């Protein structure tokens, strides 16, 4: 078996199925890993408040990576911030204007508070699924953008989001990290705020080598995370681009893909 000391996991589509729950087998697998001292790190585009509650629910103990790598917090030790990279406020304001011109709905995350200009079915569905709060602020042109974690554009039209991501990635090349985290979501953050950079930060802090890291994900925003790991696992339900960088493709999230990968690379006893 490989000497894996750190397991890094995306949440949605990796450990959470469409009902926003992990299977009992995956939950049991993670608990056994924690008991044996293997570091299990959630690495997600979600905000900290939502990620912390999931980590607690799963019985995890290690810091969580949020906002695609823009924030790492230690929820066990007084919510201590270990790493934070906020967006440039002028660039954020520019993104907001571009999204408004295109009439694309967006969420703002400032100091871990979700804000929207106006109430909408898209944000209501988003928060209901994730059990989080949000704040309606009206026109956001005049608000202070200091501490902006990320901007999330949402649309049911997956082609619109795909085209938006390509166009905005070109427009903000080398200035912002613009990535699709699901077919309906396009996220904007600081270029240093990647899952890969956050994983490398924790690995350095804990003196863990790349070959001792295993990462599992399902979307394009997980590419950087997999590249930071020695064992790169794509879910069976992953995007084709993620599968291209993976060293192993496991089963889907509905069929305990994470537990099966853990069994293969860390030890069968963890995924019984």
DSSP 8-state code for residue 14: T
Is residue 10 a contact partner of residue 226, using CB atoms and an 8 Å limit? Answer: no
**pTM value?**
0.91
Q: Six-digit token pair at 165?
A: 């991501």
Pairwise CA distance, residues 250 & 253, whole Å: 9
Kindly report the length of the chain.
272
Average pLDDT over residues 101-125: 91
Amino acid 25: pLDDT: 96
Domain 6-84+193-271 fold: Rossmann fold (3.40.50)
Q: How confident is the model at residue 122 (pLDDT cuts 50, 70, 90)?
A: confident
Q: pLDDT (tens digit, 9 = 90+) per residue, 33-47?
A: 999 999 999 999 999
How many Cβ atoms sit within 10 Å of the Cβ of residue 60? Answer: 22
Closest by CA to 152, choosing from 171, 121, 119, 126, is: 126
pLDDT of 141 higher than 90: no
pLDDT of 2 higher than 70: no
Partners of 150 in the β-ladder: 109
User: Helices 89-101 and 158-171 sit at what angle, rounded to 10 degrees?
Assistant: 140
How many Cβ atoms sit within 10 Å of the Cβ of residue 119? Answer: 10
3-state secondary structure at position 204? helix
pLDDT of 242 higher than 60: yes
Is residue 152 a contact partner of residue 107, using CB atoms and an 8 Å limit? Answer: yes
Pairwise CA distance, residues 246 & 231, whole Å: 8
User: Helices 257-265 and 24-35 sit at what angle, rounded to 10 degrees?
Assistant: 40
Is residue 214 a contact partner of residue 230, using CB atoms and an 8 Å limit? Answer: yes
Query: Does domain 89-189 bear CATH number 3.30.1240.10?
Result: yes
Residues 6+ apart with CB under 8 A from 30: 15, 22, 40, 58, 59, 60
Domain boundaries, the chain: 6-84+193-271, 89-189
Q: pLDDT (tens digit, 9 = 90+) per residue, 17-66?
A: 999 999 999 999 999 999 999 999 999 999 999 999 999 999 999 999 99
């Amino acid at each position: 078996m490989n000497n894996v000391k750190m397991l890094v996991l995306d949440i949605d589509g990796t450990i959470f199925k469409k009902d926003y729950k992990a299977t009992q087998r995956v939950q049991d697998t993670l608990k056994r890993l924690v008991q044996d001292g293997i570091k299990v790190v959630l690495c997600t585009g979600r905000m900290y408040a939502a990620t912390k509650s999931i980590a607690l629910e799963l019985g995890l103990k290690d810091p969580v990576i949020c906002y695609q790598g823009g924030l790492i917090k230690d929820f066990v030790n007084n919510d201590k911030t270990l790493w934070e990279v906020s967006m440039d406020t002028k660039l954020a304001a520019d993104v907001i204007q571009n999204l408004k011109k295109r009439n694309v709905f967006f969420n703002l995350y400032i100091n871990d508070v979700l804000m929207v200009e106006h109430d909408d079915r898209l944000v209501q569905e988003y928060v209901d699924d994730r059990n989080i709060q949000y704040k309606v602020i009206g026109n956001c042109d005049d608000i202070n953008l200091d501490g902006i974690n990320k901007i999330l554009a949402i649309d049911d039209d997956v082609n619109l989001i795909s085209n938006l991501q390509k166009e905005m990635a070109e427009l903000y090349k080398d200035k912002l990290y613009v990535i699709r985290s699901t077919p309906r979501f396009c996220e904007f953050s600081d270029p240093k705020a990647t899952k890969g950079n956050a994983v490398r930060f924790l690995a350095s802090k804990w003196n863990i080598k790349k070959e001792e890291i295993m990462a599992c994900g399902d979307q394009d925003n997980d590419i950087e995370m997999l590249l930071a790991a020695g064992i790169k696992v794509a879910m069976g339900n992953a995007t084709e681009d993620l599968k291209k960088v993976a060293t192993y493709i496991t089963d889907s999230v509905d069929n305990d893909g994470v537990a099966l990968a853990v069994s293969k690379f860390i030890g069968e006893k963890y995924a019984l």
